Structure formats: C-alpha cells, structure tokens
Structure 1
C-alpha cells in the first residue's frame, strides 16, 4: 500500500480548489456579450408596389361576446391600432397606409403559429409585433428566423428569446435578469435573516423569472423559508394560502401571472396577512385587479419608465376604451411606432428594415429609452413601483 502524507493531500486539494475557482470566474464564452448580425442576402431587392404596408400582430385581438368578461388582455392590440392610426394620420409610408393583420388562437402552438406562417409567406408582410408572452414569442421567433422578417416583442421578458441569437428578434422590455435585480435588493432589505416565503406559478414566464430570481438570491445567500408553487390552470388553493400564512413570514414574494397574482394577494389579505408583499411585473397589468384596501406594503418591478408623452397617450386611450392603459399597452404602442419608424427610414425591404430597427437604438418612446444590447434586448435598468393604499 502506498501511503501519502496528509500534508501532501492538503496541498493537492488546495491547488485543485484554487484551479476550480479560477475556472469558474473566467468563462470561455458569454453569448450576451456577442452582437447578432444578419449577413445574408435581401438588401439588394427592390421595393414592390403595394396598396398597404402590412404589419402582423401576434396576440389576442377579438372582443368577447357581449356581456362576457375579457379572458385575455386586449389592450396591447388596442394600443398597436392607435399607433397605426397615428402613423396614417401622418401620411403613412410615402402616402401608402399602414395596416395591422392580427393573428391569434386559443392554441397558439397549433392553429395560431400555423396561420402566422401562412400569412408571412403568402402576403407582403414587413414586420411582426408580438407575442403576448415568452412562450408565444418563441413561436413567432421560429417563423421569422426562416422567413427573414423582423419581430418586435412588446411584452416578453424571457431572456432566452434573445439568447437564441436570431438577428431578426428585438425585445422592448428588459429581460428577466434585469427584472430580478430590484426584487433581490427589496428582499434583502425587508427579510435579511428573517423568515420569508416565495410563491410562484407554473406558467412559462413565471417559472423563468423565478429561476432568475433564485439564481441571484443564491448569490447573496438569501433563501426563503418555504417555496410554494401554484398551478396556473386552476384556482388558487385556499389551503396553500393558509399554509403561507402559517409560516408567519415578514415578507411574501409572489411570482405569477396577473390573474393568479391578484387572487393570491386578495386571499392573503383576506385571512389577515398584513406583512410586506413583493410581486412580479404582472402585478402592474390591468388584469391584476388588486383592490386598494388589499395592497398594504406592496412593491413590484416597473419594466417601463414613462416619459412626458405618457400622459397624453394615457388620456387618449382612456377616452377611447374607458380605462387607463397599463405598461403592456404602452409597450405595444412603442413597439409598433418603432417598427414603423424603421420602415420609413429603410423602405420596403425586409433585410433593411431589420437593419433599421437595430440602428434606431437609442430610441425614446412613451415607455422610456430603448437601447439594444448585441442580441436585440433592451438593457434598461428596472425600478420598483409602490402603489399607494
């Protein structure tokens, strides 16, 4: 038997540990630091003669039957219509009017994306605004990657959309890593070394934001006392809400879609929880109906930074649709205007329109300044909104 002195083992282990630390802090490649380019053909093509400049809108657009509540948020579609109307009032594109062609289905993975594919290959479509979340935007991204067509996402913060490195993809919102940053600061401030609970939903966007949030929390050694998950396809379980309350947390973090967020907040306040609540950006959507009396100490990320033009847009929208727009509606307006600006500066050529969208950065709209990173994601910082009682 060969005997190795303990001191030698200790030195060998220390050397290996140091090597591992060096490797971890020096990544070989970071995709986020690259710049996505389109180097293919198409820029030489001449503009065709058209009667309308058509943009596709990939998201819910149909009003519910009379007397029934909205099942989907239609405000992004309404805001995009306003943007097109404004552009046409300004002369359209060299006198040719813009028009929106909406495509959607309750099954976007089947009928919806199939109809979008048929449209962009059958008709002269010059860009797409959509989808309404990260999952549907991924579907549209697969279409534009082959069709060589610009896709501008107003409302998706899923960072993997841009990490797919498709040069036709642009996201108006900061990605989840940016959204998580102010949440981590708030959690550290409110619950450092105190019990707190995380509740997350199982939909696509909530899961991805939760993964990003937990990654940043782990880096600061912030761990929730409990992490509960609630299914998106059913009502919030009252037993789950009571279990959260039983932990006696100083803070509850809720990462869910707009409807689940309002249900969770409402039920927590109803059973007597008076502590702090921190949520995801979905709490700022119109479909998240948190009553003033239910708010208490409440904060959530605000993915937009309203500019001086916000008030005028808000007043016009409210006068027309009888309610105020949320950040998603405003972002949809900006995405449509940005795409129209690129068409006006680049002409009716898909490849040059893509270049035009990339070249507009920094671009200032009603939701703040959009500055693309190398992959077409807006890397603006995110702040928290604290609604009053």
Structure 2
C-alpha cells in the first residue's frame, strides 16, 4: 500500500509540473512580468552578429546612457543585455532564447545579418517578445507575418525602388552593374532590384555575386558601366570603393544600406561619394551634436548603420516610457509609436516596415 501511495503521490507531482509547464508555454509573459516587477532595472536585449562589433556595442551603450540620463523609466534604469551571434550555425536562435527566458528582457533590438535575423524572429514569434531589427533589409523577414516584428531600415524592395527611379528615370542611365559583396544579404538586395526592374519592364543589368576584387575590377574594365550599385558587406569594401574611384572616376556609385554593416567591425572610415537611401523627413536636431560627440570619443564619424542602431535603442527606451515595461504592453502597442530620431521620423506601417517616404542622399 505504501508503494501505491508513493506512486500516486509521484504521479500527482508529475502532473502538476506538466500543468505548470503548459501554463508557461501558453502565457509566456507571466513569469517575465513577475520577475521584472522586483528588479531595479528594465532589461533590453541587444543582439549583434559578431563579438568584434565594438562600434555597434558602443553606439548602443551611448543610446542607453542618454535614455537613462533622461530619466529611465519611473526611476528605474534601463539595462542593455548584449549577446553575440558569432559561432556555428543556429547560435542566433540560442542567443535569442537566452535573452527571452534567462535574462527576461522586455524586448530585443537586433543588429544582425539576414540569416541570424531569421533565427531571432523565429524565437520571438513563439515567445511574443517584440523584435526590432536595425540592419537586415531582407524582405522575407516581414513576410513571416510576425505582428511584433519591426524594421528600422527600408527593406530591399523599398531601397531598390528609390535607386531605380534615380538611375533610370532622373539620371537616364542605361549601362548599370549590380554588385553583391557577399553571398546572402547583398545577393538578396541584388535579386530584389532585378525583380523590380522586370516588373517595370526594364532590361535586367549584369550582376556579380561575391567575386574577388581583382576579378571584379577586370570585369568592370572590360565593360565599364555608367552606374554601379553595391550591396552587402565585406572586409575589403573600403579598398574596393577607393580603387573604383581611382580607376573609373566616371562611374556613379550607389549602395544599399547593408554595405555599411561591416564598418562597425572594421572601424574604417566609410567612403564618400556614394548615394544611399535615407528618409525624406528631417532628422532630429541633435544629430550634428551626436555625430560630433561620437567623433570626439571614437575618432570617426558614425556610419549610417550605427545611426540606425542608435535610433533602435532610443526607440525601445521611448516605447517603454510610453507603454510600460512589460513585454505584453510593448507587443500590443509598439506598432503605434511615432518617434523623431537621427534617421528621421520613425513610424511603422504594414508588416512592421517603416512607413516613411524614402529618397537618395545628396
């Protein structure tokens, strides 16, 4: 009889544990909210693709410092929890899980490439935590239809539309080359531009994907284009741009924003005389002072990629101040936020993309 009693007791305990686990799966916020009520700080997760990405970490920490200097949230400080996704395939998913369930962050800001952004999105889709992407322009991230996924940068299709309008309509150029500096993000940008050109009835231009610089320069020399569009990131991009300017000064250079993502790691001054897409709304009046402070502290101007990261962290802080610190409140209300940042007015439309009008930089 004693053995039967002990077995039944064990069975009831096991059933209770299963029920508790089911409740946590159905209501992923409850443990998170209860834990944070007793904490002094509000945690914001920050995912980066590489632990060498010191510039992105620094600009994110600068944004958090400014947010705390402005009062934090109801006397509580905002704390940045940073995790790197470098390592074997799938580590991006693991880091996102750690942020959600171990660190219990209120939301996640990501400065990731497309592959890792997809992994992070899968985690937040199940955990119902807001994910704000500041770098990847992969259009398929929005087409996953996760209601609490948002993007700071214009996606590849939005950027391609602006580039095509200027190159083919305003400048009346016909000899164009598309160059991807990598085999994923840049390739996605190039394919998005080619797809849009087909829809517009334009001739599909020649494209080069992840070629060695010497090979690429030889191909350019063989058939010099009037305009070149660069996409994706690589360690040699600065040298490539310099070489193109020297060898082919007549070529008009354009770029997708993801070309600047690697500058956060290389810390090299980003090239000039390249036209990129930007918001048509005026930037915050504090942008010049931000750039000056960044230059004085780190010895270089912030790249476009770093400006979007700064805005992403600042927007997360503003959302917490406006809607509260619980993940549930942010999930329900984040899509309604409007904020003036370094990259212009920030508001979100369909599928979590920014609803701004986009133009080319001067």
With the shorter chain as reference, the TM-score category is: 0.7 to 0.9
Change (3 A) 1:268 1:193: closer
Find 1:331's aligned residue among 302, 308, 323. Answer: 308
Find 1:166's aligned residue among 108, 132, 146. Answer: 146
More helix by share: 2
User: Who is 1:143 aligned against?
Assistant: 123
CA contact (8 A) 1:369 1:380 kept: yes
Change (3 A) 1:113 1:190: same
331-340 or 281-290, larger mean C-alpha shift: 281-290
1:203 maps to 2:183? yes
Q: Report deviation, 1:291.
A: 5.6
Change (3 A) 1:375 1:195: closer
User: Who is 2:214 aligned against?
Assistant: 238
**Which whole-Å deviations, capped at 9, do the CAs of 1:38-81 have from their partners, x for residues lacking one?**
xx86789666211321111100574xxxxxxxxx5433322221
**Which whole-Å deviations, capped at 9, do the CAs of 1:82-104 have from their partners, x for residues lacking one?**
12112222332222211111111
Unaligned runs of 5+ in 1: 1-39, 63-71
Change (3 A) 1:265 1:43: closer
CA contact (8 A) 2:114 2:185 kept: yes
Q: Report deviation, 1:151.
A: 1.1
User: Who is 1:76 aligned against?
Assistant: 56
User: Who is 2:18 aligned against?
Assistant: none
**Other structure's SS at 2:302 match:** coil
Q: Number of matched residues? A: 329
CA contact (8 A) 1:206 1:257 kept: yes
CA contact (8 A) 2:49 2:116 kept: no
CA contact (8 A) 1:43 1:352 kept: no
Q: Report deviation, 1:214.
A: 0.8
1:177 maps to 2:153? no
1:124 maps to 2:101? no
Q: Report deviation, 1:121.
A: 0.9
CA contact (8 A) 1:51 1:96 kept: yes
Q: Report deviation, 1:300.
A: 2.8
Q: Report deviation, 1:345.
A: 2.6
| Cα distance between partner residues in 2 of 1:322 and 1:166 | 39
338-347 or 254-263, larger mean C-alpha shift: 254-263
User: Who is 2:349 aligned against?
Assistant: 373
CA contact (8 A) 1:162 1:377 kept: yes
| Cα distance between partner residues in 2 of 1:253 and 1:204 | 16
